[in-house]
Amino acid sequence: MNAALIECKDVTIELGGEVILKDVNLSIYQGETVVLIGTSGGGKSVLLKTLAGLINPVQGYVTCWGKKWTELSVIGKHDLYSHVGMQFQKSALFDELSVIENVAYPLREHTRMSEDEIQARALECLKQVSLEKARNMETYDLSGGMKIRLGVARSIALKPEILFLDDPTAGLDPVNSDEMAELLLNIKKNINSTMIIVTHDISRAYQLAGRIFLIGNRMVKETGSAQQTRDSKDPSVQQFIHGWLKGPLTDGNQN
């Protein structure tokens, strides 16, 4: 098998004196779509940020293109981030910038495109999320759903090789949520980014994922493809699929 694009080795993450995730081992390969799913507060966002080099584990390490995030210089990290897109759960938009300038930001930061090229690419991204008419709006005038869509537009501006998305369909009405899922499948087709997508919605996970990872009780457990996850005999996986995980996520009995 090819070398992993992202590798998480014996990772333990502690925040605020609490162990959030323990002994996490996983590998993500070029071109695949991995979905992280699990209970609220289980550590999906924390894991996503750790994979993206934004949170440092207290034990173990994460590599991206074979390089440990913690050993990269500021310039090295900046270089890697020019190939990475990230949409944050709380949008993390630049409120002082207009809608289109939010999308232009990574292009200004990481490319030497001309002003015309930047404007054209930013508009193209806004069109993909149906926000072109809102391009001159202030971000604080956007609805919650528009903010999510803008976060996704910004994350794809650089046509990233790796795309981290934190619950991009959350809080959207069913029509918008379906459109967002379609958009993600189209992005996959057009840019062929390796995607790591957080969701709390099992049907979205089935629709989008190549492989699924279930997160809860400080553990990360790979449940395989959509079909393998559906067919899993693991009681904690079945519990999760058929309602929220009630008992602890266990280590054994996985088929």
Ligand X SMILES: Nc1ncnc2c1ncn2[C@@H]1O[C@H](COP(=O)(O)OP(=O)(O)OP(=O)(O)O)[C@@H](O)[C@H]1O
Min dist. Cβ of residue 198 to ligand X (A)? 7
**Of 161 and 166, which has the nearer Cβ to Mg ion?**
166
Q: Would residue 16 be called left, alpha or beta, if left means φ above 0 and alpha means ψ between -120 and 50 degrees?
A: left
Does position 46 interact with ligand X (CB under 6 A)? The reply is: yes
Give the contact letters, 18-47, x = binds to Mg ion (CB under 5 A), - = no.
Answer: ---------------------------x--
Does position 106 interact with ligand X (CB under 6 A)? The reply is: no
**Contact partner at residue 42 from ligand X, Mg ion, none, CB < 5 to 8 Å by partner kind:** ligand X
- Strand 67-68 relative to strand 219-224, pairing: unpaired
**Other beta carbons within 10 Å of 189:** 8
Binding to Mg ion (CB under 5 A) within 68-107 occurs at 89
Binding to Mg ion (CB under 5 A) within 138-197 occurs at none
Binding residues for Mg ion, how many (CB under 5 A)?
Answer: 2
Does position 15 interact with ligand X (CB under 6 A)? The reply is: yes
Burial 1-37 (b: 16+ CB within 10 A, else e): eeebbbbbbebebeeeeeebbbebebbbbeeebbbbb
Exactly one of 6, 8, 24, 42 binds ligand X (CB under 6 A); which one? Answer: 42
Alpha-helical regions (H) of 65-161 = 74-81, 99-110, 115-128, 144-156
Amino acid code (one letter) for 34: V
Point out which residues bind ligand X (CB under 6 A).
15-16, 20, 38, 40-46, 89, 200
